Amino acid sequence: MKTDLSTIVFATNNPHKLEEARALAAGRLNILSLAEIGCQEDIPETADTLEGNALIKARWVKERYGYDCFADDTGLMVESLDGAPGVYSARFAGDHCSPADNVRLLLHKLEGVENRKAKFQTVIALLTDGKEYLFRGQVEGSIATEPHGEGGFGYDPIFVPAETGIPFAAMSPEDKNAISHRGRAMRNFINFISNTKH
Ligand code: IMP
């Protein structure tokens, strides 16, 4: 079966994520952002799982705008904090907090803590052909004791993947994409589309 997936909406306006996704999809998909389809709403993320939030966002776009769509949700799970901030990673330091606030709070909670193991997990929900699909990606690592590096976003200055030993924020976008939670989930998603739809 051949389905036209050449244009698909990524339910995000985050320029870093769009850049990452477009680099990974290179030539295989035309990825539109929410702004590019005129979606100005703040899509509510009210589920208590990554899967639930990714599905809410993808369904929102499909139902209101009619486009095939994919959406991601990511959490940073810190072992010594029983998996927090997890699904609440974006709002860890409060509803209108900045990424720097989140980083500061996490470093504060881990002051003097020996076990700094953490992992990023991403779930991507895809809505196409009236069906829903989920794809996952994960990267294991640890939380540094202070921020390093100028690149990336969010928790990148303090997340050190086990595979490289340097924070995401100090890696090139290509090197980060090669091992990151979202890079892995995106490749699973793109392989699925390439293998089964075209
Ligand atoms: P979201 O689900 O992608 O919005 O991400 C939830 C939280 O995790 C936000 O605080 C993001 O800044 C953070 N986050 C998501 N992906 C990454 C990443 O690749 N590096 C660092 N932080 C991230």
Band of residue 1 on the pLDDT scale cut at 50, 70, 90: very low
- Predicted pLDDT of residue 178: 93
And the tokens for 104? 């500061």
The residue whose CA has the least distance to atom 11 of ligand 1 is 154
Per-residue pLDDT of 130-158, as tens digits, reads 899 999 999 999 999 999 999 989 999 99
Tell me what the pLDDT averaged over the chain comes to.
Answer: 92
The residue whose CA has the least distance to atom 10 of ligand 1 is 90
Distance CA 21, CA 37 (A): 17
* End-to-end alpha carbon distance in the chain: 8
- Predicted pLDDT of residue 46: 94
Ligand 1 center to 195 CA (angstroms): 28
> Is residue 122 within a helix (H) or strand (E), and if so which, with residue range?
strand 117-128
Distance CA 179, CA 52 (A): 24
Q: Is the peptide bond before 85 cis (omega within 30 degrees of 0)?
A: yes
| In the chain, domain spans | 6-197
- Predicted pLDDT of residue 197: 55
- Predicted pLDDT of residue 42: 86
- Predicted pLDDT of residue 196: 67
Ligand 1 center to 3 CA (angstroms): 31
List Cβ neighbours of 111 (8 Å cut-off, separation of 6 or more): none
Strands 7-10 and 85-86: unpaired
Look at the pTM and tell me if it is higher than 0.85.
yes
Could you name the CATH architecture of 6-197? Alpha-Beta Complex (3.90)
Distance CA 180, CA 124 (A): 14
Per-residue pLDDT of 91-121, as tens digits, reads 999 999 999 999 999 999 999 999 999 999 9
Per-residue pLDDT of 46-57, as tens digits, reads 999 999 999 999
In testing the pocket of ligand 1, which one of 153, 158, 171, 179 has its CB within 8 Å of the most ligand atoms?
153
